[in-house]
Amino acid sequence: MYMLVMVLDNSEHMNDVLRAWVDAGVPGVTILESTGINRVLPREQAGPMFAGFSQFFGTGRVGHNTLFAVIESMEVAETAVSATESVLGDLNQPHTGIIFALPIAKTWGFPEPYA
C-alpha cells in the first residue's frame, strides 16, 4: 500500500483532477487547503499593509490544495499521475503541482480490501 500525495497549484482544476483520480482507481481522497513558502514570503516582503490584501478583498486564491489517498499499488499511482497530466499537462512545467507516493507499513481503521 502507498500514500499518494499531490500538492495542486491551481485549485480551479481540483474537480477535474479528482475525477481523473477516481477513474484511475483511487478509492478516496482527503483534501486539505495548504500554502507554500513561495506564496507566503512575497506577501510578507510587500509590507504589512499589503499582507493578506487579496484575501481581504477576495480578489484571488493564495493557497494550494493538498490531496491524500491510500492506494493499493504503485500501478495505481502511475495511472493517477498519467490521468493528472491529462488534466494539467506535464507536471514538470511550472504552476501545475507535484505528486509523490510513500510506502505505508500498516493501517488501522481502513476497510477491506485495503487493510
pLDDT of residue 34: 87
Q: Which domain holds residue 9?
A: 2-34+63-103
Mean of pLDDT values over 10-26: 96
Residue 75 has pLDDT above 90, yes or no: yes
In a domain? residue 90: yes
pLDDT of residue 37: 78
Residue 58 has pLDDT above 50, yes or no: no
C-alpha cell at 70: 491510500
User: Total structural domains in the chain?
Assistant: 1
Report the run of H or E that residue 19 belongs to, with start and end: helix 14-23
Residue 39 has pLDDT above 80, yes or no: no
In a domain? residue 86: yes
Mean of pLDDT values over 38-53: 56
In a domain? residue 50: no
Name the residue type at position 79. T
Indicate which CATH number applies to the domain containing 87: 3.30.70.120
In a domain? residue 57: no
Query: In the predicted model, what is the mean pLDDT of the chain?
Result: 84
Q: What is the DSSP string of 30-98?
A: EEEEE--HHHHHHHHHT-TTTTTHHHHHT-----EEEEEEEES-HHHHHHHHHHHHHHH--TTSTTSEE
In a domain? residue 52: no
Residue 53 has pLDDT above 50, yes or no: no
In a domain? residue 48: no
